[in-house]
Structure 1
Amino acid sequence: MTITHVEGRKWVLRIKDVKESDKGWYMCQVNTDPMRNQIGFLNVVVPPNILDYPTSTDMVVREGSNVTLKCAASGSPQPVIMWRREGNEPISTGASSLNASTFTISRVNRLHMGAYLCIASNGIPPSVSKRVMLIVHFPPMIWIQDQLVGAALGQRLTLECNSEAFPRSINYWMKNDTIITQGKRFEPSTHEASNYKVVMKLTIKEVDIGDFGTYKCVVKNSLGETDGSIKVYHIPSTTTTPTTPPTTTTLPITTETPYRKNHKNKIYRPFDEYSSSSNKIHMSDSGELRNMDLSKDKDRDRYRENSANLEDQREKEAFVDNDTKSDASVGRHFTARMDLTVLLALLMIHFLR
Structure 2
Amino acid sequence: MKNPLCWVILTGVAFLLIQQGLPVYSQGDSQSDNKVMDNITVRQGETVLLSCSQGDVVTHSAWLNRSSIMYAGEDKWSVDPRVSLVTLNQDEFTIKIENVDMTDEGQYICAVQTRSRATTTSVHVIVQVPPKITSLSKDVVVNEGSNVSLVCSASGKPDPTVSWKIISPAAQILTSEDEFLEIPSISRQRAGTYECTAMNDVATDVQTVELTVNYAPTVSDGKDVGVTLGQQGVLQCEADAVPPADFEWYRDDRRIFNGFDGIEIEDSGALSKLTFFNVSEGDYGNYTCVAINKLGSANTSIVLFEVIEPTSSTLLQGPGAVQDGNSASRACHTSTCLLVLLALQLLLKF
User: What interval of TM-score do these two structures reach, taking the shorter chain for normalisation?
Assistant: 0.5 to 0.7
**What is residue 19 of structure 1 aligned with on the other side?**
101
**What is residue 122 of structure 2 aligned with on the other side?**
39
Distance 1:200 1:158, change over 3 A: same
Structure 2 residue identity aligned to 1:3: Y
Out of 120, 138, 152, the position equivalent to 1:57 is: 138
Using the aligned pairs only, state the percent identity. 30
Structure 1: give runs of 5+ residues left out of the alignment: 193-197, 255-341, 347-353
TM-score, length-normalised on structure 1?
0.59
Asked whether the 8 Å contact 2:134–2:155 carries over to 1, the reply is yes
Asked whether the 8 Å contact 1:3–1:12 carries over to 2, the reply is no
Alpha-carbon shift at residue 227 of structure 1 (Å)? 2.4
Alpha-carbon shift at residue 16 of structure 1 (Å)? 5.1
**What is residue 131 of structure 2 aligned with on the other side?**
48
TM-score, length-normalised on structure 2?
0.60
**What is residue 236 of structure 2 aligned with on the other side?**
160
Alpha-carbon shift at residue 117 of structure 1 (Å)? 2.2
Asked whether the 8 Å contact 1:3–1:14 carries over to 2, the reply is no
**What is residue 216 of structure 2 aligned with on the other side?**
139
Alpha-carbon shift at residue 159 of structure 1 (Å)? 1.0
Asked whether the 8 Å contact 1:137–1:166 carries over to 2, the reply is yes
RMSD of the TM alignment (CA)?
3.4
Asked whether the 8 Å contact 2:259–2:265 carries over to 1, the reply is yes
**Matches of 2:172 and 2:131 in 1, distance apart?**
23
Alpha-carbon shift at residue 132 of structure 1 (Å)? 0.7
Asked whether the 8 Å contact 1:84–1:91 carries over to 2, the reply is no
Asked whether the 8 Å contact 1:45–1:76 carries over to 2, the reply is yes
Structure 1 residue identity aligned to 2:130: P
**Matches of 1:189 and 1:182 in 2, distance apart?**
10
Structure 2: give runs of 5+ residues left out of the alignment: 1-64, 75-87, 322-326
Alpha-carbon shift at residue 46 of structure 1 (Å)? 1.6
Task: Write the mapping of 1:227-238 to structure 2, written as runs, cut at 5 A.
Answer: 227-238=299-310
**What is residue 83 of structure 1 aligned with on the other side?**
164
Which structure has more RCO (C-alpha within 8 Å, separation ≥ 6)?
2
Out of 296, 315, 319, the position equivalent to 1:224 is: 296
Alpha-carbon shift at residue 221 of structure 1 (Å)? 1.8
Structure 2 residue identity aligned to 1:36: T
**Matches of 1:172 and 1:253 in 2, distance apart?**
75
Task: Write the mapping of 1:122-271 to structure 2, written as runs, cut at 5 A.
Answer: 122-125=200-203, 127-146=204-223, 148-176=224-252, 177-182=254-259, 185-192=262-269, 198-239=270-311, 241=314, 242=317, 243=321, 246=331, 247=334, 248-249=337-338, 250-251=341-342, 253=344
Alpha-carbon shift at residue 50 of structure 1 (Å)? 0.4
Alpha-carbon shift at residue 236 of structure 1 (Å)? 3.3
Asked whether the 8 Å contact 1:143–1:228 carries over to 2, the reply is yes
Q: Which of the pair is proportionally richer in helix?
A: 2
Distance 1:114 1:108, change over 3 A: same
Structure 2 residue identity aligned to 1:71: C
**Matches of 2:261 and 2:134 in 1, distance apart?**
59
The SS at the match of 1:188 is strand
Structure 2 residue identity aligned to 1:138: Y
Larger Rg: 1
**Matches of 1:70 and 1:81 in 2, distance apart?**
10
How many residues matched? Answer: 247
Structure 2 residue identity aligned to 1:204: F
Structure 2 residue identity aligned to 1:37: T
Alpha-carbon shift at residue 17 of structure 1 (Å)? 4.2
**Matches of 1:73 and 1:91 in 2, distance apart?**
25
The SS at the match of 1:111 is helix
Alpha-carbon shift at residue 174 of structure 1 (Å)? 2.5
